[in-house]
């Protein structure tokens, strides 16, 4: 049975921030994101599909959702186009609950490496940072200050599905400070006037947990965050550019810490 | 004197691929890009400015162009809006000649590290790769296959001005193969089924020149390119993601090679 007008409107509203805030749901589309949802066991509450658009790989993903007893609804091509955020929809969309993003005590203990993003406003940069974080075992993300909304379609797409495998919390500076204090964390901040890797790695190696703090490209890290940091780290380079892209800077350090 | 209708149309055409192809010119806008043009000595043939939009830093950049005897033209706010590609124009735009992109013998000898991009279609990824390349002394870029056009406004912006400091050539596979053969290069390709850094770094360390080959996210590297490569390198990670973002993968390896 196709979607009613009202249902379609509800799903479509998830493309907007207001709609996500009201319903506490978000939308993810495409075969790859649906595969990653299955892989990480972060299941949608509803799946919408349009057979005429589905590839063999698409049917296989749909089949897995059906076997998991997840609600699947066939919709028309025009309905799929209406709820899709991409130019060539692949015929499958999932609607998910936005998980609780509060960081409460007792703090989760199973994350040694943590990525802290301060004021990352570019969706592509935030998504890429999350994707790299999961790759290098930074399983928890703390979003601080004025970051772009993590459950927006653009960020979700840039994570390439990593969003389904991460514990993500929004914190203010006070909560971040408390967390660092109480867990005796070694907070590592990336900044242009920091020390080099060779001067810092031993201190970082011993740290547990290790929140790595990455700031916005435009303004760098806030003074408050720099005051919280145990180690301030600089990525040495030729100096032929003013700075690195925030996602690149974060990724390089996450790889270095992963390799320790 | 403001721009004539025809002049305005010509400058505006540089926002399109067709316009750039016809005139062999490109456009770059904003204070930061203009500062980088000055820093790298890659000067515009013309600068357009709108005083009401210029900040103190903007006037200072303009002053430097005037002192270098570069042609500067004041234009109206509506003309600036017409030729601008951004939502809040900073009141300064440069028009530049597209440099020769052929790789001819004798090959330039002053680049030990070279970045080869195959089929990088995302403007943000290509721009970010170029920015990181300049940071880590990969001074020459070889674009191979179906890469996005490097002198498009989006790529230029993502390079954060690095485009002005790099030698950039377009090559086909045959030219790339010839270059690698004749210069006895150690070509390093990044691919999922390669060897780890610890198995590869000694071979890479000795190499000169060292073209590092990064492929598209969607399809990886072509077989032809993999056949050319001396070393095939894998970035070890947790396996919790299918792959890394192409710009991140390239950046991590460029940093590793820079640190050798």
Using one digit for the tens of pLDDT, what is the confidence trace for A48-75?
A: 999 999 999 999 999 999 999 999 999 9
The closest CB to that of B241, out of A134, A236, A248, belongs to A134
Over chain A, what is the mean pLDDT? 95
Nearest residue to B49 (alpha-carbon basis) of B31, B36, B67: B31
Q: Are A107 and A175 in contact (CB under 8 A)?
A: no
Query: Do A132 and B243 lie within an 8 Å CB cutoff?
Result: no
Q: What is the model's pLDDT at position A51?
A: 96
ipTM of the complex: 0.95
pLDDT (tens digit per residue) in B6-50: 999 999 999 999 999 999 999 999 999 999 999 999 999 999 999
Residue A78 burial (10 A CB sphere; 0-12, 13-18, 19+): exposed
Is the per-residue pLDDT at B178 higher than 80? yes
Buried b (16+ CB within 10 A) or exposed e, A160-198: bbbbbbbebbbbeeebbbebbeebebbbbbbbeebeebe
Sequence-distant (≥ 6) Cβ neighbours of residue B139 within 8 angstroms: B110, B111, B113, B114, B133, B165, B166, B167
Is the per-residue pLDDT at A177 higher than 70? yes
Q: How far is B70 from chain A (nearest CA, A)?
A: 23
Both tokens assigned to B183:
């210069």
Is the per-residue pLDDT at B218 higher than 80? no
* Furthest C-alpha separation in chain B: 64
Mean pLDDT of B168-191: 95
Q: pLDDT grade, residue A1 (50/70/90)?
A: low
Is the per-residue pLDDT at A78 higher than 70? yes
Q: pLDDT grade, residue B102 (50/70/90)?
A: very high
Using CA coordinates, name the residue in chain A closest to B32. A242
Q: Tell me the whole-structure pTM to 2 decimals.
A: 0.96
Mean pLDDT of A200-229: 92
Over chain B, what is the mean pLDDT? 95
Is the per-residue pLDDT at A92 higher than 70? yes
Residue entry with tokens 């192409």: B246
pLDDT (tens digit per residue) in A8-25: 999 999 999 999 999 999
Q: pLDDT grade, residue A47 (50/70/90)?
A: very high
Is the per-residue pLDDT at A218 higher than 80? no
Query: Do B241 and A161 lie within an 8 Å CB cutoff?
Result: yes
Q: How far is B227 from chain A (nearest CA, A)?
A: 28
């Amino acid at each position: 049975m196709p979607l009613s007008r009202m249902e379609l409107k509800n799903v479509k509203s998830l493309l907007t921030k207001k709609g996500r805030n009201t319903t506490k749901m978000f939308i993810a589309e495409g075969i790859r994101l649906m595969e990653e949802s299955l892989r990480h066991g972060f299941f949608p509450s509803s799946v919408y599909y349009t057979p005429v658009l589905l590839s063999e790989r698409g049917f296989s993903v749909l089949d897995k959702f059906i076997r998991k007893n997840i609600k699947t609804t066939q919709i028309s091509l025009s309905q799929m186009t209406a709820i899709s955020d991409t130019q060539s929809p692949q015929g499958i969309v999932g609607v998910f609950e936005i998980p609780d993003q509060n960081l409460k005590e007792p703090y989760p203990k199973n994350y040694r490496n943590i990525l802290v993003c301060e004021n990352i406003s570019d969706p592509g940069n935030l998504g890429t940072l999350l994707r790299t974080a999961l790759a290098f075992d930074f399983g928890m993300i703390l979003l601080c200050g004025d970051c772009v909304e993590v459950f927006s379609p653009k960020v979700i797409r840039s994570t390439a599905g990593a969003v389904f495998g991460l514990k993500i919390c929004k914190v203010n500076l006070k909560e971040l400070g408390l967390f660092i204090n109480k867990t005796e964390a070694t907070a590592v901040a990336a900044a242009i006037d920091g020390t080099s890797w060779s001067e810092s790695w031993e201190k970082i190696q011993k740290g547990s947990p290790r929140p790595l703090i990455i700031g916005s490209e435009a303004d760098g890290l806030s003074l408050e965050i720099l005051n919280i940091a145990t180690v301030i780290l600089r990525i040495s380079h030729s100096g032929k550019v003013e700075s690195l892209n925030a996602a690149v800077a974060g990724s390089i350090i996450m790889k270095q810490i992963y390799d320790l």
